[in-house]
Amino acid sequence: MSNAVLDGRPLNAVYKFIEFLRAGGEPNSITFCAFLNACSDTSSLELGKQLHGFVMRCGFGKDVSVLNGLIDFYGKCREVGFSMTVFDGIGQRNDVSWCSMVAACVQNDEEEKACEFFLRAMKEGVKPTDFMVSSVLSACAGVAWLEQGRSVHLVAVKACVEGNVFVGSALVDMYGKCGCIEDAKRAFDEMPSRNLITWNAMVGAYAHQGLADMALALFKEMCTRSHEFKPNYVTLVCVLSACSRAGAVQMGMRIFESMKAKYGIEPGAEHYACVVDLLGRAGMIERAYEFITKMPIRPTISIWGALLGACKMYRNTELGKIAADKLFELDPKDSGNHVVLSNMFAACGR
């Protein structure tokens, strides 16, 4: 069953577990954790809940490894409240318990909660691991909490994990999103080894600050370092975002149009949103709308949102109304879109 999960065949793992029970097998903590991983990979919340009940009936309700698995499972299924309930019920928590809880909060955009759990773990004398530190740095990056990020950096140095590639990448990302581009570059340069995530983080840091030339120069350097690093989906999002923020329309369009042929990457919703933003920021509203109408995928909230933002900037109420109507259909509960449309009309005296 574990092999099926590791091989990317979670449904096979589920069937094997059921077959195992029907044959009279007695599951242990390893069996339960493997099944929870299968439920996570398939986002099978109800199935995981059923297993949770079965775990309790089988007498594994106090097994810390199974409970850690439940924290992880509920976090990945966007039920962080259940993760917290399971966490609170653990009698003797280990470092994995704390790591899992911090990660669950980050996965569910509960960045402040993630930092709270991290601080609690430190007060209880839990040794910070590379996974825990990188997770809480991601939380700091998500809310641009520079002061807390610097404190976590200090913890990483004291725990001797700052040289870890995942921690280093998280530091680059955190400093970049907090606007400290020099600190991000220093963290990048001081890393003993880098992976694609590291390069993406640094390109993204430059993009976040609108430093298109530096982002593109680093992108070129990454592509020319033999065949060690090949740009992926995220890399191109960062590069297109850099072009958008810098107003480099021709360069951005050239990179977008060569994505599949040159890099073997099929453009996704994020890439299309970057192009719409690129054209919109440059005042090419009509061209941006035409681009949307010819897209081979269904426009997402971010795509229509980029067009609406451009329409507000350049007071194009006609296309702004179209973009807003599409957003009302896709996300009727977001009042912010109504406010943007209202302000746009008001700015034009309507």
Residue 182 CA to residue 194 CA, distance in Å, equals: 18
pLDDT, residue 246, reads: 86
Tens of pLDDT, residues 150-205: 999 999 999 999 889 999 999 999 999 999 999 999 999 999 999 999 999 999 99
Cβ atoms of 118 and 152 closer than 8 Å: yes
pLDDT, residue 12, reads: 64
Tens of pLDDT, residues 36-76: 888 887 778 888 898 899 889 888 889 999 999 999 999 99
Q: Is the model's pLDDT at 147 over the cut of 80?
A: yes
Q: Is the model's pLDDT at 140 over the cut of 70?
A: yes
Dihedrals phi, psi of 124, to nearest 5 degrees: -85, 5
Residue 86 CA to residue 65 CA, distance in Å, equals: 12
Mean of pLDDT values over 67-88: 94
Tens of pLDDT, residues 259-311: 999 989 999 999 999 999 999 999 999 999 999 999 999 999 999 999 999 99
Mean of pLDDT values over 244-263: 92
Q: Is the model's pLDDT at 9 over the cut of 80?
A: no
Per domain, the residue ranges of the chain are 1-92, 108-193, 210-266, 268-350
Angle between helices 45-57 and 64-76 (to 10 degrees): 160
Q: For the chain, what is the mean pLDDT?
A: 89
Report the Cα–Cα distance between both ends of the chain, in Å, rounded: 63
AA letter at 268: G
pLDDT, residue 150, reads: 96
Domain 268-350 has CATH 1.25.40: yes
Q: Is the model's pLDDT at 8 over the cut of 60?
A: no
pLDDT, residue 227, reads: 65
CA atoms within 13 A on the CB side of 166: 9
